[in-house]
């Protein structure tokens, strides 16, 4: 599966953006999809995941209540709606596809599991100004 991430941009603190992760070559239905981010000088961290089977969602503590992940099967796309953005949300954002049996919460909590991703989209830059 090939992934295309898009939707990043420059926004003021308190603003919103919606990121898209669109698949080609395969349906996203068979995968757990995760959003990750990497800020300058920092490691890549898990932000949110949505499972393939029951659509269970998981979020990093830092984004709970502000970000919402969703899946549109007809469009073969996973979205990340980001509200109440903060300067510390500034980062390159990536989406990735994992085998469906991996637990979305574990993918966020354990950075080592990122190596199990089957495919990564290119980064989309989100910049939040103060």
50/55 Cα distance (integer angstroms) = 6
Per residue in 52-70, pLDDT (tens digit) is: 878 899 999 999 999 999 9
Residue 85 in tokens? 């953005």
The length of the chain is 130
Per residue in 26-56, pLDDT (tens digit) is: 888 889 999 999 999 999 999 999 998 788 9
- Burial call 1-22: b when 16+ CB within 10 Å, e when fewer: bebebbbbeebeeeeebebbbb
Q: How many other CB atoms are found less than 10 A from the CB of residue 30?
A: 13
């Amino acid at each position: 599966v090939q992934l295309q991430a898009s939707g990043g941009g420059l926004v003021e603190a308190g603003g919103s953006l919606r990121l898209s992760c669109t698949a080609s070559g395969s349906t996203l239905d068979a995968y757990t999809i995760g959003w990750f981010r990497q800020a300058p000088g920092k490691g890549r961290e898990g932000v949110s995941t949505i499972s393939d089977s029951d659509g269970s969602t998981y979020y990093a503590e830092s984004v709970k209540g502000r970000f919402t992940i969703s899946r549109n099967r007809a469009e073969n796309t996973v979205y990340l709606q980001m509200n109440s953005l903060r300067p510390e949300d500034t980062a390159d954002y990536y989406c990735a596809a994992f085998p469906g049996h991996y637990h979305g919460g574990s993918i966020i909590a354990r950075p080592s599991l990122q190596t199990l991703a089957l495919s990564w989209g290119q980064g989309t830059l989100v910049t939040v100004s103060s």
